[in-house]
Amino acid sequence: MIDPIAFTIGPFQIHWYGIIIATAVLAGTWLGLREARRRGESTDHGWSILMVCVFTGIIGARAYHVIHEWTAIYRDHPDLIIQVWRGGIGIPGALIGGVVGIWIYTRRNHLSFWRWADIFAPAVLLGQAIGRLGNFVNQELYGPPTDLPWGIPIDQAHRVPPYDDMTTYPASTVFHPLFAYEAILNLIGMFLLLWIARRFANRLYDGDVVLMYFIWYGTVRTLLEGFRTGNWLVGGIPTAALLGVTAAVGSAIFLVVRHWRGWGTPGSWMHQTDGGGEAPEPAPEPSAG
């Protein structure tokens, strides 16, 4: 396994987890700003939204994790709450915080919330895919034992019951790398959203892309949670699975209903902009079949 400490500068330890998360944010920023530019939006607004979302997303992500582990860790050690570099963030909380950040900024600056949410939806999947590598370094987000050749070892200190019984599950035991499964599926989802956003641009309403994001990621997270160890349970059901089902089903219903009822303007971003950029030329209507 990889040493979680990448290097030391004097009294400061630089953790791989922090480096990976920073890389994920930068990669997501690059893709989000590129998508904003393609849509003719102001990258200045894009940068400002990102700064707000990084702040609100970290708060939401950490709050989700702390609530999950409150009894086991943080009730007796509240000083650890701010030590994010040790790991421990919850993607559902990050998403909630990010959505709140976009809503706050767009509302204060009289911009379209749905349009900017569409812009950053594929970028979020890219950031999530890269960020999941931090779970490998910290030996987190693994599933049950497996005989598959890509199984990964987990130290006893990072195992949860019953897998911490080294008699039944010796050091040679390897586990499903759920973080890798999610990372791959996130990348597939990113490319799918980018393709749909271009191929069907004339037919999409503002907000359709982010709704498809929640359908995709909600489904992925729900499926993987059934294999995860150490879940946060509510009524015997993983909390993330409950949130995933709610997000996927709710977004799918809203997506269908809004098109059925005509709650939007197809391709509206091609004819006007929020941020002062030049509106791009409308893409040709895709042919049938």
Q: DSSP for 64-90?
A: HHHHHTIIIIITT-GGGTT-GGG----
Contact by Cβ (8 Å): 122, 148: no
Give me the residue spans of the domains in the chain: 5-140+174-268
Q: Would you say 72 and 113 are in contact if contact means Cβ atoms under 8 Å apart? A: no
pTM of the model: 0.88
Q: How crowded is the C-beta side of 249, counted as CA atoms within 13 Å? A: 7
Residue tagged 């701010």 (tokens): 82
The dihedrals phi and psi of 141, each to the nearest 5 degrees, come to 55, 60
Peptide bond into 162 cis (omega under 30): yes
Q: Which amino acid is at 20?
A: I
Retrieve residue 35's tokens.
């998508």
Residue 223's alpha-carbon distances to 124, 245, 248, in angstroms, are 19, 10, 12
The strand pairing partners of 199, in sequence order, are none
| Cα–Cα dist 73/78, whole Å | 8
Alpha helices in 138-176 (DSSP H): none
Cα 96 from Cα 65, distance rounded (Å): 13
Angle between helices 16-38 and 178-199 (to 10 degrees): 10
Q: Are strands 233-234 and 5-9 parallel, antiparallel or unpaired?
A: unpaired
Rounded (10°) CA dihedral 227, 228, 229, 235: -90
pLDDT at 275: 46
Question: Could you tell me if 209 and 221 are in contact, meaning their C-beta atoms sit under 8 angstroms apart?
Answer: no
Q: Is 83 helix (H, G, I), strand (E, B) or coil?
A: coil
**Per-run averaged pLDDT (10 residues), the chain, 289 residues:** 86 89 94 95 95 93 87 83 74 92 97 97 97 91 95 93 94 96 98 97 96 97 88 82 95 97 90 51 43
Give residue 272's pLDDT. 62
